[in-house]
Amino acid sequence: MLDKPLIHTLMAAARQAREAAYAPYSGDFRVGAAVLTGDGQVFTGCNVENASFGASMCAERVAIFAAVAAGQRQLTALVVIADTPQPIPPCGLCRQVLAEFAPACQVIMANTKGDYQVATMEQLLPYPFEFRQP
């Protein structure tokens, strides 16, 4: 279980990452994320939209893929933050990616007012897709 100071540190990193978001197509819906690795490193990401909407990327996946690209495979926590009335949860695609790279991670869903909720991956995606070789 993460302690409050660490949660707030991760929320601050996600909030800072959110500032770099490229979101002209959603009406400036900026999202930031921070992922914590097993060895204490923090990787951040922001949403990056594209005129071809399918080419857009969520903040959570940007942060996760940055960690994976740096050789990290043990992700222990993820924060996602946006300027929303309630803490924002990860979308379905991001939940599936988390299930692959961080099945036991804690997910902190936050908003820019400082509200947050903590959930496990089991709560967010109880039946993830798993590819199994025949």
Do the domain assignments include residue 74? yes
DSSP, res 24: T
Active-site hit among 19, 60, 100, 122: 60
Say if CB 35 and CB 21 are below 8 A apart.
no
Q: Is residue 76 part of a domain?
A: yes
Provide the number of structural domains found in the chain.
1
CATH code, domain carrying 55: 3.40.140.10
- The pLDDT score that the predictor gives to residue 49 is 98
Does some domain include residue 104? yes
Confidence of residue 1 (pLDDT cuts 50, 70, 90): confident
Close Cβ partners of 20 (under 8 Å, ≥ 6 residues apart): 46
Helix (H, G, I), strand (E, B) or coil at 31: strand
Calculated CA dihedral for residues 87, 93, 95, 97, nearest 10 degrees: -130
The structure's pTM equals 0.95
Q: Does residue 97 form part of some domain?
A: yes
How much is the pLDDT for 53? 95
Range of the domain at 117: 4-124
Question: Any known ligand binding at 105?
Answer: no
**According to the model, what pLDDT value does residue 133 have?**
86
**Is the residue at 80 inside a domain?**
yes
pLDDT tens string 12-65: 999 999 999 999 999 999 999 999 999 999 999 999 999 999 999 999 999 999
Per the prediction, the chain carries an average pLDDT of 97
Within-domain flag for 37: yes
Q: Percentage of the chain with pLDDT > 70?
A: 100
> Residue 128 forms beta bridges with which residues?
none
Residue 60 annotated in active site? yes
